[in-house]
Chain A
Amino acid sequence: MPTWWHGHPIHTLANQLANQAFPFTLGPMAFRIPYLVTLSMLVSGCAIMHATQLGEIDSATVLNGQPFEIRVSELGLSLEDAAMIGEAVAKQYGYGAEAGAGGDIIALFQTGPKTGNPVFRDDYTDHIGDLLAQECPSGKVTGLMAIRETAQYPVISGEIVRLIGYCAKD
């Protein structure tokens, strides 16, 4: 490993996360495994399903009709992850406690139930009805499946609502 890497914030963060997630290691070579696993987790994405609802199905329309999919999404921000990274970086400069306090204050302003990561506007799904009317102006819609999911990445996420259905051909 180059010498500049050992002081890099991502290296420090990955080490701290690895130590917290995997406190028990089995010797000098084993420490690399949790470190690599944690690093790979930081750069990977994850799809999370929160809710799925299925409506009435008219089999003839589903088999012969036109499928459509509507997808709306908004950027979600995990302030816990951001605060953790900020605290890890601030610790390098001796301000870890202050950064933690700042993160706690921000968290107090975001009290409440959450599904996925919080977003900064709650009306990003309001135009789904208009999109559906565009996809199927006749209104002969069946087999509607509504999915609420999250595409999870480190710190940020995509908060997604998908609507899949079938429109009868005129």
Chain B
Amino acid sequence: MKKSAFLLLGLLFSGCVHMRSISTTSIPAARDKAIQAEAYRFLFLLINFNNQYVDTLTRDLAQQCPDGRVEGILTKQEDIVYFPFFAHAVRVTATGFCVTPSSTSSAPEPSPAVAPAANEAPSGDVEK
């Protein structure tokens, strides 16, 4: 009875994905070319000896954008449960935009400048 209950609970919670962390960098005006890179590590019995699998993310993004800059990078870390305790995985995805000199020819590039002005109220939306 206990074994079948454990199996049933394991199947119920398998395939669950939970987010661990999220961060983003400044988003460019030119968003024509979206690129993405992913680092994935399967964990058996939650055993993990190193986190070097994420080291390739930066290079993967750069290879997709050899002649420009990668901006607006959304980095998301997820925990995936295939079967509780026995089979887990960690997935880190980085999505961004490749900004090349040709794509920014019409969009203004930021340059340092300072001019004091009054504060504005924020605008926003909420979605459930």
- Taking the complex as a whole, does A directly touch B, i.e. does some CB pair lie under 8 Å apart? yes
Residues of A within 8 A of B (CB): 51, 53, 55-56, 113, 133, 137-140, 168, 170
Residues of B within 8 A of A (CB): 18, 21, 23, 25, 112, 114, 116, 119
B114 pairs with A53, CB closer than 8 A: no
B114 pairs with A170, CB closer than 8 A: yes
Whole-angstrom CA separation of A138 from B112 in the bound complex: 10
Whole-angstrom CA separation of A56 from B116 in the bound complex: 24
Question: Within the complex, which residue of B21, B23, B112, B116 is in contact with A137, where a contact is CB–CB below 8 Å?
Answer: B116
Question: Within the complex, which residue of A55, A113, A138 is in contact with B18, where a contact is CB–CB below 8 Å?
Answer: A113
A138 pairs with B23, CB closer than 8 A: no
Q: What's the count of A-B pairs with C-beta under 8 Å?
A: 13
Question: Within the complex, which residue of B21, B25, B112, B119 is in contact with A140, where a contact is CB–CB below 8 Å?
Answer: B112
> Given A138-B114, A140-B112, is A53 in contact with B18 using a C-beta cutoff of 8 Å?
no
List the 3 closest A-B pairs by CB distance, nearest first: A138-B114, A53-B23, A170-B114
Whole-angstrom CA separation of A133 from B21 in the bound complex: 25
Closest to A170 in B: B114
Other CB < 8 Å A-B pairs besides A53-B23, A133-B119, A168-B112, 6 of them? A51-B21, A55-B25, A56-B25, A137-B116, A139-B114, A140-B112
Residues of B within 8 A of A113 (CB): 18
B72 to chain A, nearest CB (A): 13
B62 to chain A, nearest CB (A): 16
Residues of A within 8 A of B23 (CB): 53
B18 pairs with A140, CB closer than 8 A: no
Whole-angstrom CA separation of A168 from B113 in the bound complex: 11
